[in-house]
Amino acid sequence: MVRGSIEFASGDVIQGWIFTEDGLVRDRTVLAFQGQTCVGAGKVDTFRPDLADAGMGDGHLGFSFPISVASAAIGSVVVKLEGSDAILLQNGAFVSTGETVVTGLDRAVVRRRLAELKWALKNGRIPQADFDYLRMLWSLGVYERGLVRRVAGEDQAVTERPEIAAAALLESYAETDAEVEVRRVRSTADFAAELARLGEGTVPVAAIHTSERATLRVMEGSHVEDAEAGNARGAMFVDYPLSSANLVMLDARAAVELLLPEGAAVDILSAKLV
């Protein structure tokens, strides 16, 4: 299996990383395509300490090479490993082998929803905590929630159960009662497939949690329809560490990478409306 992502693309350069399960990717050739036209080629020869720390080979997984493509076509550029049919996409941020590409939100919908939230807060319809959470999730496509809290009047901390915290946040987004479904995944391919499924559903939001260690790399704001324009401006991924002490609410339509150490698993908690 091949995985990785394009992290930056412009009219004259493309950058990202790529990994194969056999670990034999260092110094191999990667090709950039716009449609059926090859617009550049380079080598996988850049050391990435973040990927090495995540247990992905020796960390020499990065690439950066010149391309030549018109500005209007930047968002459609993909990268292939020479000799492989797997494709690195810009907007999905995972390797595609024919999965459905999820359509993002219309920007006008996001603007309208943010205006509705401001009105609800001003008129006392929602508490400040819900406003802050929903504003960030609709604006950025991601929100981090800590699970450890202090007990009032006591010198101790307790850890909230992730499914309880997730249920409250999912219901706040859906504005109705919901049951929480939990799917445990152990690979980035399964993670991407589950997000693609949720992205086409009624509640395209999930809580991501692990009792181990992992990292979500999210391109903030990429869940809106013009995500390609953000890539063209040089938008970068932001790291959200995952552990037993937090969960990350994620819009399933956002561009995201999961850095998952070998043998680890993450839980995807989603809403089933009742």
Highest-pLDDT range among 91-95, 170-174, 194-198, 261-265: 170-174
> Among the listed ranges 38-47, 211-220, 231-240, which one has the minimum average pLDDT value?
231-240
Answer whether residue 198 shows pLDDT above 60: yes
Dihedral of the alpha carbons of 229, 234, 109, 255, in degrees to the nearest 10: 100
Q: Output the CATH code of domain 107-273.
A: 2.60.120
Strand 266-273 versus strand 205-209 pairing type:
antiparallel
* pLDDT classification of 151: cutoffs 50, 70, 90: confident
pLDDT in the model for residue 105:
78
Predicted pLDDT of residue 6? 87
Query: What pLDDT does 71 receive?
Result: 73
Q: Higher-confidence residue: 274 or 190?
A: 190
> What are the tens digits of pLDDT across the range 36-54?
789 999 999 999 998 888 7
Query: Which CATH architecture fits 2-90?
Result: Sandwich (2.60)
Least confident interval from 75-79, 133-137, 250-254: 75-79
* Nearest in space to 235 (alpha carbons), one of 95, 143, 141: 141
Name the percent of the chain lying above pLDDT 90.
47
Residues found in the chain: 274
SS3 218: strand
Q: Does residue 78 have a pLDDT over 80?
A: yes
Confidence check: pLDDT of 226 > 70: no
Q: Would residue 91 be called left, alpha or beta, if left means φ above 0 and alpha means ψ between -120 and 50 degrees?
A: alpha
Question: C-alpha angle 116/109/226, rounded to 5°?
Answer: 140
22-36, 141-155, 166-180: which is most confident:
166-180
User: Quick one: angle between helices 107-122 and 128-140, nearest 10?
Assistant: 170
Average pLDDT, the chain: 85
In the predicted model, what is the mean pLDDT of residues 64-88?
A: 82
Position 246 scores a pLDDT of: 96
72 pLDDT above the threshold of 70: no
pLDDT in tens, 11-42: 899 999 998 877 788 999 999 988 778 999 99
Confidence grade of residue 65 (pLDDT, cut at 50, 70, 90): very high
Domain boundaries, the chain: 2-90, 107-273
Q: How many CB atoms lie within 10 A of CB 80?
A: 19
DSSP for residue 71: G
